[in-house]
Amino acid sequence: MPQKWLSIVGIGEDGIEGLSAVARSIISTAEILVGGDRHLAMVPRSNIQQERLVWTSPISESIEQILSYRGRNVCVLASGDPMWYGIGVTLTRSVSIDEITIIPAPSSFSLICARLGWSIAEVETLSLCGRPASLLQSYVYPNAKLLILSAGQETPSIVAKILTERGFGKSAIAVFEYLSGTRERMISGVAEAWDIEGISELNAIAVTCIVDRKAQVLSRLPGLPDLAYHHDGQLTKREVRAVTLSALAPTPGELLWDVGAGCGSISIEWMRTDPRCRAISIEKSRMTYIADNANSLGVPNLQIIAGTAPAALQDLPPPDAIFIGGGATAEGMFETCWEALRSGGRLVANVVTIEGEQQLFKWQQQVGGSLSRIAIQRAESIGSFLGWKAMAPVTQWIAFKP
> What is the per-residue pLDDT across 338-390, written as a single tens digit (0 to 9) for each?
999 999 999 999 999 999 999 999 999 999 999 999 999 999 999 999 999 99
The Cβ of residue 69 has, within 10 Å, a number of other Cβ atoms equal to: 16
C-alpha radius of gyration, the chain, whole number: 26
**Those residues with Cβ within 8 angstroms of residue 161's Cβ, 6 or more apart along the chain or in another chain:** none
**Those residues with Cβ within 8 angstroms of residue 314's Cβ, 6 or more apart along the chain or in another chain:** none
- What CATH superfamily is the domain 6-105? Tetrapyrrole methylase, N-terminal domain (3.40.1010.10)
Q: Give, for 372, the enclosing helix (H) or strand (E).
A: strand 370-374
> What is the per-residue pLDDT across 55-100, written as a single tens digit (0 to 9) for each?
998 999 999 999 999 999 999 999 999 999 999 999 999 999 999 9
- What CATH superfamily is the domain 226-400? Vaccinia Virus protein VP39 (3.40.50.150)
- State phi, psi for 274 to the nearest 5 degrees: -160, 140
The Cβ of residue 149 has, within 10 Å, a number of other Cβ atoms equal to: 23
CB distance 27 to 9 below 8 Å: yes
Q: Would strands 278-283 and 255-259 be described as parallel, antiparallel, or unpaired?
A: parallel
Among positive and negative, which fits the CA dihedral 206, 211, 215, 220? positive
Please report which residue ranges of 140-218 form alpha helices under DSSP H.
155-165
Give the pLDDT of residue 47: 76
The Cβ of residue 332 has, within 10 Å, a number of other Cβ atoms equal to: 11
Q: With CA atoms as reference, report the closest residue to 134 among 155, 120, 153, 152.
A: 155
What 3-state DSSP class applies to 362?
helix
> What is the per-residue pLDDT across 257-313, written as a single tens digit (0 to 9) for each?
999 999 999 999 999 999 999 999 999 999 999 999 999 999 999 999 999 999 999
Q: Give, for 125, the enclosing helix (H) or strand (E).
A: strand 124-127
Q: With CA atoms as reference, report the closest residue to 9 among 72, 100, 97, 96.
A: 100
Give the pLDDT of residue 95: 96
Query: Which amino acid, 77?
Result: L
- State phi, psi for 302 to the nearest 5 degrees: -60, 130
Domain ranges of the chain: 6-105, 109-208, 226-400
What 3-state DSSP class applies to 148?
strand
54-57-61 Cα angle (round to 5): 75
Give the pLDDT of residue 373: 97
Give the pLDDT of residue 111: 98
The b/e string for 339-357 (b: 16+ C-beta within 10 A; e otherwise) is ebbeeebbbbbbbeeeebb
Helix orientation angle between 354-367 and 333-340, rounded to the nearest 10 degrees: 40
Give the pLDDT of residue 303: 98
**Domain spanning 109-208: CATH 3.30.950.10:** yes
Query: Which amino acid, 339?
Result: E
Q: Cis bond leading into 58, ω under 30°?
A: yes
Q: Do domains 6-105 and 109-208 have the same CATH topology?
A: no
User: Cα separation of 397 and 324, whole Å?
Assistant: 10
> What is the per-residue pLDDT across 228-245, written as a single tens digit (0 to 9) for each?
999 998 899 999 999 999
CB distance 262 to 234 below 8 Å: yes
> What is the per-residue pLDDT across 8-32, written as a single tens digit (0 to 9) for each?
999 999 999 999 999 999 999 999 9
CB distance 291 to 303 below 8 Å: no
